[in-house]
Amino acid sequence: MKPYALVFGAAFALMCLAVTGWAQASCPQRTTVELITYGVSNAATSFDGIRGAATSGGQYNLTPSAEAYCPNHFILERAEAANGQPAYWVLKFAASRRGDEKAVSAWIVKDLWPSLKAGHYRFVSLKDSELGGLRYYWVGPANCWLVIETYADDNNSAFTDLAIHVGRDLP
């Protein structure tokens, strides 16, 4: 597990709720699997193809084409090496899935896992999340990784919210 990738999980989740909303609300033309696949397909190049100019605090704008893919939804950051951990790039976003933890697990196995497997991602762990749900962790080629943390939707018990991080450790 890359603990530094999850340090800001709870803060990120709350920020996504306040700023970008859910995948379905802010990006209705894309499924959650499409958004994850988009992130994973850009991770191996440290998001070069979608990275725009640096802003502040290690964040970057997206290119116009990346922004058009899902407007105002993604956050792209570069974190410097710290505490023995390598520097890394991470694309963050939030989503929401209908159902409880069991339904989300079934969705991961049925809908998400085949595309990750095709991209040579390997499932590493499932643990309790600091957000109160579950943390799923995969590693892929070229030092890439994917973390999905689930947590209860405070406004609608019929949904489970997701904090999604697609990243790449730098050599």
DSSP, collapsed to helix, strand or coil, labels residue 142 as coil
pLDDT average, residue stretch 10-36:
56
pTM comes to 0.82
**Window from 32-46, 48-62, 67-81, 118-132 with minimum mean pLDDT:** 118-132
What pLDDT, on the 0 to 100 scale, is given for residue 154? 77
What pLDDT, on the 0 to 100 scale, is given for residue 1? 38
Residues paired with residue 122 on neighbouring β-strands, in sequence order = 139
Q: Rounded to the nearest 5°, which phi and psi values hold at 150?
A: -100, 155
Question: What's the pLDDT band for 26 if we cut at 50, 70, 90?
Answer: low
Is 57 or 89 the better-scoring residue by pLDDT? 89
* Pair of tokens at residue 35: 């958004």
* Pair of tokens at residue 119: 């991209």
